[in-house]
């Protein structure tokens, strides 16, 4: 399967996190978290259409100013998604500068603030001196971004404050085997789309009328070729609670790559509870129970700077434990 997107961690796990994702077909990029962006070229930053911010602790949001600096002259808007407080956080960042010389600049910033039951929206335009323009909100939907077959899904986690976790995946591809269709003498028609929908939505008792005859899903399923799309998940800065862990397992389910924090060693579990971060053992448990194909550790307490290998080994070992 050809990759639809390519993801890379911009920094080592002791630096402020940034996950950069480049799309193959779209010629654009998105970014998860806005930490230390100095490892990205101006060209790479200028390709970013959407930024997904887990939360506004300084290590995850400090790169905002650098991104803004690179985008001021851009015609296409930048979309920013974040948890409770992101609209105010963006507004306050923007108000920290003097903007009397930018009226002619085209940049538009569109912000979506994910709450439990609603998504609030606001715009900030350079032409308006970046003053906040409130927009009407929409009901909460886990799929916060969809474009040309790509979906970003979110969930809200507890980190003492609300934090977003994300998955990015390609919609399942369902193709019809045209040679087999011809061989069986079935006429193409709208029923093919109905068949694809039934497969996508797993409607096992679906039936279809083709050339005046009724068929069940099982009679036609061999005409289709189903390819599961590529998927990554990015989850960091979550308290080591059972609820968070279950949410993480569900969000990362069957991802090709899970980017996950392992902020503390397993033996430092008490500290992990106090600081609302995962341990290596819990990161490994999520990797294992979400059945992900591979994982990368994104965020580790700087106090372990000399024992990176031990951290990685603990996560790996926990990911291989027999299920309980």
Which positions touch Zn ion (CB under 5 A)? 57, 59, 237
Q: Please, what is the minimum distance in Å from the beta carbon of residue 162 to Zn ion?
A: 11
Closest approach of Zn ion to the CB of residue 124, in Å: 24
In angstroms, give the least distance from the CB of 98 to Zn ion: 30
31 versus 195: smaller Cβ distance to Zn ion: 31
Cβ at position 53, least distance to Zn ion in Å: 11
- Give the residue carrying structure tokens 């308290």: 239
Looking up tokens 């591809």, which residue turns up? 173
Residue 208 CB, nearest approach to Zn ion (Å): 50
At 282, list the tokens. Answer: 């819990």
Cα separation, 319 vs 148, in Å, equals 34
**Least gap, CB of 5 to Zn ion (angstroms):** 24
By beta-carbon proximity to Zn ion, the closer residue of 123 and 241 is 241
Measured from the CB atom, is 150 or 258 closer to Zn ion?
258
Closest by CA to 264, choosing from 247, 276, 253, is 276
Nearer to Zn ion, 59 or 219 (CB): 59
Q: Which class for 299: exposed (0-12), middle (13-18), buried (19 or more C-beta within 10 A)?
A: buried
Beta strands in the chain (DSSP E): 5-9, 19-23, 29-32, 48-52, 78-83, 108-114, 118-125, 132-139, 143-147, 150-158, 162-170, 173-176, 207-210, 213-216, 224-227, 231-235, 257-260, 294-297
- Are 166 and 298 contacting, i.e. CB atoms less than 8 angstroms apart? no
Q: Which is nearer to Zn ion, 95 or 161 (CB)?
A: 161
Q: Which is nearer to Zn ion, 155 or 237 (CB)?
A: 237
Tokens representing 226 are: 């189903």
Nearest Cα to 296, choosing from 20, 47, 1?
20
Cα–Cα distance for residue pair 288/322, rounded to 1 Å = 9
- Cα–chain center distance at 173: 19
Q: Which is nearer to Zn ion, 199 or 233 (CB)?
A: 233
Could you tell me the smallest distance in angstroms from the CB atom of residue 160 to Zn ion?
Answer: 8
CB of 166 to Zn ion, least distance (A): 15
Q: What is the largest CA-CA distance in the chain?
A: 71
Question: Residue 59 or residue 158: which is nearer to Zn ion going by CB?
Answer: 59
């Amino acid at each position: 399967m050809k990759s639809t997107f390519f993801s890379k961690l911009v920094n080592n796990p002791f630096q402020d996190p940034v996950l950069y994702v480049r799309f193959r077909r779209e010629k654009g990029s998105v970014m998860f978290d806005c930490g230390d962006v100095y490892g990205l070229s101006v060209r790479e930053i200028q390709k970013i259409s959407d930024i997904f911010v887990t939360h506004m602790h300084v290590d995850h949001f400090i790169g905002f100013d650098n991104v803004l600096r690179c985008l001021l002259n851009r015609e296409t808007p930048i979309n920013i998604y974040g948890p409770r407080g992101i609209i105010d956080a963006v507004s306050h960042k923007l108000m920290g500068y003097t903007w009397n010389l930018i009226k002619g600049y085209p940049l538009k910033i569109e912000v979506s603030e994910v709450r439990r039951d609603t998504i609030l929206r606001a715009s900030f335009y350079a032409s308006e001196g970046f003053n906040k323009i409130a927009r009407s909100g929409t009901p909460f939907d886990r799929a916060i971004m969809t474009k040309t077959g790509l979906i970003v899904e979110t969930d809200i986690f507890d980190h003492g404050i609300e934090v977003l976790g994300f998955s990015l995946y390609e919609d399942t591809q369902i193709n019809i085997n045209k040679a087999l269709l011809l061989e069986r003498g079935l006429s193409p028609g709208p029923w093919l789309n109905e068949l694809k929908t039934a497969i996508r939505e797993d409607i096992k008792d679906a039936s279809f009328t083709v050339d005046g005859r009724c068929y069940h899903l099982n009679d036609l399923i061999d005409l289709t070729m189903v390819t599961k799309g590529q998927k990554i998940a990015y989850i960091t800065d979550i308290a080591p609670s059972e609820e968070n862990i279950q949410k993480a397992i569900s969000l990362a389910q069957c991802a090709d790559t899970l980017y996950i924090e392992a902020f503390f060693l397993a033996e430092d579990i008490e500290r992990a509870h106090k600081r609302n971060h995962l341990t290596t053992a819990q990161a490994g448990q999520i990797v294992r129970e979400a059945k992900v194909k591979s994982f990368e550790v994104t965020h580790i307490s700087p106090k372990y700077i000399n024992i990176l290998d031990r951290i990685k080994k603990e996560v790996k070992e926990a990911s291989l434990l027999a299920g309980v």
